[in-house]
Amino acid sequence: MMLSGTVEKSEIVPIANSSDVVIVRQRVRALATELKFSLVDQTKIVTAASELGRNTLEHGGGGSLELALVVNGVRRGIRLRFSDQGPGIPDIAQALKDGFTTGSGMGLGLGGSKRLVNEFEINTRPGDGTVVIAIRWK
Amino acid sequence: MERIPILRMGNYLLVTIQVDMHDKLALTLQDDLTNRISEVNAKGVLIDISSLEIVDSFIGRTLANIASMARVLDAETVVVGMQPAVAITLVELGMSLPGIRTALNVESGMEYLRETVAAHEGSDDAIGDSREV
Amino acid sequence: MSKLLGEIQKNHDSLLQDWLKRLKSTVQRHDLITDQELEAQASEIVALIADVPGGTTLDDFTGEGWQPLKAMLANISVSRATAGFTPSETAIFILSLKPSLFAIARQQRSNNADELFSEVLAINEFVDKLALHTTDSYIHGRDQIIRRQQEEMLELSTPVVTLWDGIVALPLIGTLDSARTQVVMESLLQAIVQTNSRFAIIDITGVSTVDTLVAQHLLKTITAARLMGAECIISGIRPQIAQTIVHLGINLQDVITKSRLADAFRLALERSGRKVVRIDKPNDGNAANSRGV
């Protein structure tokens, strides 16, 4: 299932350590500012990127983000595509249900990130890595 | 290594988080704070996050951890100055941080700490009294 | 098809003149646009078609080379809409480019009916796409206006009132859907920061229905305010709403609720260390005065 939109421009951000997650936040914020997202929408997409970026690092053992400006007709949006070669997610339905508990939350926070964006897709297979795509439209 | 400075005001510790923290920095802050609370026998910790434009689940859990650890060390924690956009996003993420006291700004945060610490001292004295029979 | 583009580039002046001539013979809106403006628009369109970078083809409208033309068409669409043109009128303006382009194709291919046919088809599709793009832009422009007006209406209909130092009230009226809640949440939280208020009273007397979704929205607002350090009190709960809340099993455990705004206000005052006292007037012996209020 392809997510809608043609790519107008994109960049790759490698995710190999925790400082890279900071760079992910900065790059996403830069693009959101360029597209003149509202402050709340900016915060949402940057936070989602931070969550998903951290997952890629911690759960996936490192990977990368393809950050793209997508266009669908006259709508413009930000597309995040996180990929890693890690162990994959065995039960997506469960992972999406995982909420956070303060203190000892073990959830991957996928359900939360999903709520912060408009379109969300996970492609994963145990042992075969994970690709998470999220789009926030303006 | 970069660290977030911790200021001391009498019985209280003040931390202002102004940088976009990476995970290691957050964990270092957690360590530094718990050590410092213990060192100076602090009664209250005020964490000012009014400059933080992003609070994700990791930072949220870190704040919750700090509050829990401080409590075990007999210190109250208050987090002040959360920005509206951050609050809205945290709620959408599903984090409500129930164990953490919050206040609008440093002033009200300090007011809360003083009141709470005074109340504790009052009850501590009472326990002391009843033992002196 | 690159042959056709090349021919357009070579004949760009005569193409423009031909188009302008045809335009003059159609219905013109002299009341909405001057001849010079019309010429300028047509001229720019032809220029942008003729100036596309090499490698751009007529059949791939999503290519980068067509971006400037698309941007220009979007602009024209919006400016014409503002001037009062209907989207059809703007589309017809663009579509009227077809005969002029067909003429060029026929000029070059008069010997080969098959080639001529495929070129005419390509031109037809291409110009259709241009016209549709102007229509899409028109709709998008309209949507943005509607959205902005909705936001303004929402802001106007959700004024945050300062009841006292550190106490704000938000009287909600009407329905609370997802979009509205966003705006409401944002304006309330902004007001809390700006007025430094520890207490926010959300009065729902005017809210027509409270279902699980509305309750969820209210709870989100309350949680967000709490994260910032402010306490919310819900007031104006009508008996029917109270029943609905219980029937739906909505959990309002951690939320303070009052049936009247006045009670909520009194509570907020108390919590912030204040109370309202009646000041007795000095007794000058007049019976009327001692009646009290």
Give the start-to-end residue ranges of the domains of chain C. 2-152, 161-271
Q: Residues of B numbered 46-105 whose beta carbons fall under 8 angstroms of chain A's beta carbons: which are they?
A: 53-58, 60-61, 64-65, 68, 84-86, 88-89, 92-100
Instruction: State which H helix or E strand residue C15 sits in.
Output: helix C12-24
Q: Which CATH class is domain C2-152?
A: mainly alpha
Residue A127 lies inside a defined structural domain of this protein: yes
pLDDT-based confidence at C285, cuts 50/70/90?
Answer: low
pLDDT, residue C84, reads 84
Among candidates B24, B57, B84 on the partner chain, residue whose Cβ is nearest the Cβ of A100? B57
Write down the pLDDT at residue B117: 85
Cβ contact C140–A40 (<8 Å): no
**Which of B65, C53, C26 is CA-nearest to residue A104?**
B65
B51 touches chain C (CB under 8 A): no
CB-based contact (8 Å) between A6 and chain C?
yes
pLDDT of residue B28: 94
> Can C2-152 and C161-271 be said to share one CATH topology?
no
Maximum average pLDDT range among B53-67, C75-89, C212-226: B53-67
CATH of the domain at B110: 3.30.750.24
Asked whether residue B128 carries a pLDDT value surpassing 70, the answer given is no
Q: What is the pLDDT of residues A67-79, one digit of tens each?
A: 999 988 778 999 9
Please, which pLDDT band fits residue C104 given cuts at 50, 70 and 90? confident
Query: DSSP label at C52?
Result: P
Beta-bridged to residue B48, according to DSSP, are: B16, B80
**What is the reported pLDDT for B124?**
63
Choice between C286 and A43, residue whose per-residue pLDDT is larger? A43
Q: For residues B98 and A102, is the Cβ–Cβ distance under 8 A?
A: yes
Q: Categorize the per-residue pLDDT at C157 as very low, low, confident or very high, splitting at 50, 70 and 90.
A: low
Kindly report which listed range (B64-68, B72-76, C71-75, C200-204) carries the lowest average pLDDT score.
C71-75
Cα–Cα dist C105/B117, whole Å: 88
Choose among B87, B96, B104: nearest Cβ to C198: B104
Rounded Cα–Cα distance for residues C189 and B84 (Å) = 6
The tokens for A131 are: 């690709």
Q: CB–CB of B94 and A115 under 8 A?
A: yes
pLDDT higher than 60, residue C292: no
Sheet holding A6-15, edge to edge: A6-15, A63-72, A75-84, A130-137, A119-124
**Cα nearest neighbour of C226 on chain B:** B102
CB A136 within 8 A of CB A41: yes
Quick one: pLDDT at residue C176? 75
Using alpha carbons only, what angle is made at residue A117 by residues A15 and C67, rounded to the nearest 5 degrees? 85
CB contact under 8 A, B22 and A18: yes
Residue A1 domain-assigned (yes or no): no
Q: Which domain holds residue A101?
A: 6-137
Q: Assess if residue B119 is contained within a domain.
A: yes
Answer yes or no: is pLDDT of C31 > 90. no
* pLDDT on residue A93: 77
What integer pLDDT is reported at residue B54 of this predicted model?
Answer: 94
Query: Is the separation of the CB atoms in A77 and A136 below 8 Å?
Result: yes
Whether residue B1 is contained in a domain is answered as no
pLDDT at residue A58 is higher than 50: yes
Given a cut of 70, whether residue C97 has pLDDT beyond it is: yes
Return the residue in B96, B100, B110, B111 with the most chain C beta carbons within 10 A, the one to mutate for interface testing.
B96
pLDDT score recorded for residue C94: 92
pLDDT at A103: 30
Chain C residues lying within 8 Å of A75, measured CB to CB: 140
- With an 8 Å Cβ cutoff, are C193 and B97 in contact? no
C140 has a chain A CB within 8 A of its CB: yes
Mean confidence (pLDDT) of chain C: 85
- Of B15-24, C22-31, C109-118, C224-233, minimum mean pLDDT range: C22-31
Helix, strand and coil content of chain C, in percent to the nearest 5, comes to: 60, 10, 30
Please, which pLDDT band fits residue B108 given cuts at 50, 70 and 90? very high
Task: Report yes or no on A64 lying in a domain.
Answer: yes
Question: Is residue B26 within 8 Å of residue B62, measured between CB atoms?
Answer: yes
Task: Answer with the residue of higher pLDDT: A108 or B66.
Answer: B66
* pLDDT at res. A99: 54
Instruction: Please tell me the predicted confidence (pLDDT) of residue B127.
Output: 53
Residue B1 has pLDDT above 70, yes or no: no
Q: Do C220 and B92 touch (CB under 8 A)?
A: yes
Please tell me the total count of domains within chain A: 1
Q: What percent of chain C has pLDDT over 70?
A: 94
Label residue B133 by pLDDT band (50, 70, 90): very low
| pLDDT score recorded for residue A100 | 44
Determine whether the interchain pair C196/B103 forms a contact, defined as Cβ–Cβ distance below 8 Å. Answer: no
A partners (3+ CB pairs within 8 A) are B, C
Restricting to B residues 27-46, those with a Cβ less than 8 Å away from any Cβ of A are none
Once rounded to an integer, what is the mean pLDDT over residues C117-134? 91
What 3-state class would DSSP assign to B12?
strand
Query: In the predicted model, is pLDDT for residue A44 greater than 80?
Result: yes
Task: Report yes or no: B110 and B7 within 8 Å, Cβ to Cβ.
Answer: no
Per the CB < 8 Å rule, is B87 touching C189? yes
Average pLDDT value over all residues in chain B: 89
Residues 90-119 of B with CB under 8 A from C: 90-92, 96-97, 102-105, 108-109
Say whether pLDDT at C286 is over 60.
no
Which of A12-26, A94-108, C76-90 has the highest mean predicted lDDT (pLDDT)? A12-26
pTM of the model: 0.72
Whole-complex ipTM: 0.87
The residue in chain C having the minimum alpha-carbon distance to the alpha carbon of residue B107 is C196
Tell me if chain A has a CB within 8 Å of the CB of C50: no
Q: In terms of pLDDT, which residue wins out, B122 or C185?
A: C185
Q: Is B128 on the interface with C (CB under 8 A)?
A: no
The single-letter code of the amino acid at C6 is G
- Overall number of domains in chain B: 1
CATH number for A122 = 3.30.565.10
Q: What's residue C148's pLDDT?
A: 82
| Reported confidence tier of residue A45, pLDDT bands at 50, 70, 90 | very high
- Expressed as residue numbers, the domain containing B100 is 6-131
In a domain, A79, yes or no: yes
Q: Which residues contact C183 (CB under 8 A, 6 or more apart)?
A: C151, C154, C155, C158
Instruction: Band the pLDDT of C263: cuts 50, 70, 90.
Output: very high
Q: With cut-offs at 50, 70 and 90, classify the pLDDT of residue B105.
A: very high
CATH assignment of C161-271? 3.30.750.24
Residue B47 has pLDDT above 60, yes or no: yes
Mean pLDDT of B9-16: 94
Q: How confident is the model over A75-102, as a mean pLDDT?
A: 78
Least confident of B53-57, B86-90, B128-132: B128-132
Give every CB contact of residue C91 below 8 A, 6+ residues apart in sequence.
Answer: C131, C132, C134, C135
